[in-house]
Chain A
């Protein structure tokens, strides 16, 4: 049977509408599920105490202070390591690397690196940072491993943001006798900042939510708040993972949901901050 053009239009419209609704529905279900199961756990004590053992010795009482601090410190370090390298590396490849062939090979490598599974990065982290460079199981080993993991994402999103700037802007600045660096500093980077920031936040969220690389490079269940970057640490995703595999499920699961809710809220705050920054830059540099 042939559908009339009008009916065809209607059918596809509803199909697409259904797909969009499904995405929103799943997201809502997940978030509601975590809120329903986790909201009850969140108390002042839960947020301000370290995980503590109960009578049987299992770490299912207390709170999640050390995982929160651990995750924040980890993300701070990743920000400090991966962002400058990723952003300026991409700036070099896009703006300075004279050879077209070379930069194509480099981007091919970067794109392939983006597809490497996180557990493989974890193995690299163990081999290189934990043992070869003897940083031990530590915050710094984990932070460098995560930084390497998100570098490709930072670089690719920076590249896209830089390439979105029309070349006429570049011509204008160079034509006024500005050097390449002055052009990049005063024009290209500020105008592409909103795109670059989006990429940074997305990759930081990814780093904050990873578990596998941490497992091998530095988290420990009984770690407290690290005093130096060479200490072991706790992290929220790892804490959730440990709670869901504890034998005392009755006590552990609510803790896992509580921690998951905190992790989600943390990510939401970051995304909100990113959106604010982004719209501020959009407002400032309209083009």
Chain B
């Protein structure tokens, strides 16, 4: 699935997505295409539905009772809102980093190995009788877990800071380090898409800059969708930006174009600070 310009591959296609919490219509006819190995930013004033939209992409909204959802969300062409999709499996492909750093109150090491431990490691084995290949899951070995920890922490630019204290509590880390640990932890499930829900809102400018550098670096391997209330952040890191207002997707396009020449009146008002 290529887009018009022919160089990007579509990763997620959202078609006419509507969502209600009880009787409140939170997302209205949202249609958007998110491209592989790009950073897509979602901006908009508080309560515009941007976080809710993000949480649709890995079905975290399933956890909230009385949610009604209509429309389609195609991940690699498959509708993840279908009943036969197990949200637990989906969340292994679509990882999430939350607003407040939320490491487990365990050691740094334990934080990273939790997911690989519960999911096991996939291996293709041949059935000796039928000769058929099948995927089996087995418990990871200690060496494999060590490797995963090192790889993920390095990828999240945290390894050098914590390699000597992997068994110390994650709560001893600073806020920015905790958030990078959460990013490392998300990478331990080897997702294809990583969702960031205002990942820097609880961090100071220096920690924020580190996370932003990391985001740009992650773009090489992952499709990144980030919700942010910080327009400069969107302008700095995102390839494309979507502007949400009161549950509507008002405008969506390449970040530069959207910031410099917004097509919609609402977008311009928001970007210039006259509204929001």
Contacts and interface: CB of A to CB of B under 8 A. Distances in A.
B91 A174 contact: yes
Given A172-B182, A286-B169, A287-B171, A178 B100 contact: no
A97 to B, nearest CB: 10
A57 interface: no
Interface stretch (B102-110, B236-244, B264-272): B102-110
B58 interface: yes
A33 B89 CA distance: 64
A175 B100 contact: no
B159 interface: no
A155 to B, nearest CB: 22
Given A175-B58, A177-B88, A178-B115, A98 B65 contact: yes
A286 B186 CA distance: 21
B92 interface: yes
21 contacts: A99-B65, A168-B100, A169-B104, A171-B60, A171-B98, A171-B102, A172-B104, A174-B91, A175-B60, A176-B91, A176-B188, A176-B189, A177-B89, A177-B115, A178-B88, A178-B118, A186-B114, A191-B105, A285-B106, A286-B105, A286-B171
A26 interface: no
B88 A172 contact: no
A285 to B, nearest CB: 4
Given A169-B102, A287-B105, A287-B171, A175 B114 contact: no
B9 to A, nearest CB: 24
B65 A176 contact: no
A276 interface: no
Given A177-B92, A286-B171, A287-B171, A172 B119 contact: no
Contacts of A173: 104, 114
Given A168-B102, A286-B169, A175 B65 contact: no
Nearest to B116: A176
A172 B115 contact: no
A285 B186 contact: no
A248 to B, nearest CB: 59
Given A182-B118, A286-B105, A174 B63 contact: yes
A175 B187 CA distance: 12
A187 interface: yes
A165 to B, nearest CB: 9
Interface string B158-179: 0000000000010100000000
| Pairs of residues from A and B, 7 with the lowest C-beta to C-beta distance, nearest first | A287-B105, A168-B102, A177-B92, A177-B91, A175-B96, A176-B115, A285-B105
B95 interface: yes
Interface of A is mostly: helix
A279 B51 CA distance: 38
A100 interface: yes
Interface string B188-201: 11000000000000
A179 to B, nearest CB: 5
Interface string A149-180: 00000000000000000101101111111110
A286 B91 CA distance: 27
Contacts of A171: 60, 96, 98, 102
A176 B186 CA distance: 7
B177 to A, nearest CB: 16
Nearest to B99: A168
Contact of A176 (B63, B95, B100, B106): B95
A102 B63 CA distance: 17
A168 B171 CA distance: 14
B88 A175 contact: no
Contacts of B118: 177-178, 182, 186
Nearest to A98: B65
A49 to B, nearest CB: 50
B11 interface: no
A191 to B, nearest CB: 6
Contacts of A287: 105, 171
Contacts of B60: 171, 174-175
A171 B61 CA distance: 11
Nearest to A287: B105
B185 interface: yes
